[in-house]
Amino acid sequence: MQPYELSLSAAADAIRTRRLSPVELTDSVLERLEQVEPHLHAYATVTAEHARRAAGDAANDIAAGRHRGPLHGIPMGLKDLIDVAGMATSAGSRVRAGHRSSANSTVAARLAAAGAVLIGKTHTHEFAYGLTTPQTQNAWDPGRVAGGSSGGSAVAVAAGTATFSLGTDTGGSIRVPAALNGVVGLKPTYGLVSRHGVTSLSWSLDHVGPITRTAEDAALVLTALAGHDPRDPASLTIPAADYRPGPGTDLTGLRVGVPRTYYHDHVDAQVAAAVRRATEQLRTLGARLVEVEIPMTRYIQATQWGLMVPEATAYHERTLRTVPELYQADVRVLLEAGALMPAGDYLRAQRARTLMRQEWARMLHEVDLIVAPTVPVTAVAAGQETVTWADGTVEGVSDAYVRLSSPANITGVPSLSLPVGHDAAGLPIGMQLLGRPLGEGVLLRVGHAYEQTQPARGLACAA
């Protein structure tokens, strides 16, 4: 096994015990990047020399007994919405041409303090306003979409050109590409991870979180990221926590909610079957399966778009007015549509979200978490615009991908996407666990327990 193939947890253990140097690991990742990046295009910017210097500094610190923890010397990618001092944050847009960040975002600063090594900035759909990331190819099949908007971050982890990465999630943009590329994606509780210094899409729905190869890896990154930041108005004031799951697989007493509706409507048969098998595996580990009814399903998509569209337009108000020609056509149309939305519709979406949060809290009082598909269909062909379901219903690709992930953004609850198999074409299938607010520890424990019962996952076969 080459160093770039190691999970974060395995690489951290090898570095801690001096069986692997951060320099060796970073060199291996950069060599891998040279091999596969020309046909995957995960990165907007590669900072190879910066990475080599940081890896050398980490190696020297560790040799001198100054080991900072499990992220010290670990190569990472950051979505190109996340500010790093002195580096471009283009947000995938010509609108940001020539932009340089003057300071670190909070998450970049915390990862730097933990000793992580920045490999580069990963591609995003322009301003995170899309579910495909058109610049980037799927790590399992370059003819398929990578998912978005954190497509570059997911492909980098899946292909071995980053040991972990950060993405953002406004309607599913961490979990969708994680599912489509066979890696783990965590959208934390709203306010748990600071968004200061991160370009916004929709401030009341935006989240920052990790994309990794295992649930344990996600826990290590979340432990470094979480914590109050007064510069983010939504930041929660809670004590620091260690999210690392224990070694056991016993889930006795855990109540797992299985939705009767919504999460299994218009879902590909192979996706549904894989999620059922994974759910049954949780039962064999001791969990009790409980049927639940998802509340207010008819309002979910309208509420998501009713919040996101006007907030995104408000964020881009000045540049949409002064340089509209610099936006890509698909994003410009959405931003212009937001300017036409009546204020009453936005207020109704706010009220619907309040009611939805209350109803979800009641539902999650009866179970410890909910299990569901992350996305209803695996990665579609690049350029494909619609999905046709068995009953003849035609759905837009973006609508299909956001449909099952957006409830966690509206309600702010945490959601963890895990790989649970492949379809007949060899494309990854994802299952998401949704929990109570600040219930990341439960989700990560369950995800880790499930992973211990499965064969070890390799990197993407097409990479």
Question: Could you list the active site residues?
Answer: 79, 149, 173
CA distance 364 to 255: 10
- Look up residue 319 and give its amino acid: T
Query: How many other β-carbons are positioned within 10 Å of the β-carbon of residue 199?
Result: 24
Task: Give which of 414, 449, 452, 418 is closest to 434, Cα–Cα.
Answer: 414
Residues 6+ apart with CB under 8 A from 284: 453
Backbone conformation region of residue 458, classed left if phi is above 0, alpha if psi is from -120 to 50, else beta:
beta
CA distance 406 to 404: 6
CA distance 41 to 122: 9
Please spell the DSSP secondary structure of 144-193, one letter per residue: BB--SSSHHHHHHHHHTS-SEEEEEESSSTTHHHHHHHT-EEEE--TTSS
Q: Which residues of 134-145 are buried (b: 16+ CB within 10 A; e: fewer)?
A: bbbbbbbbbebb
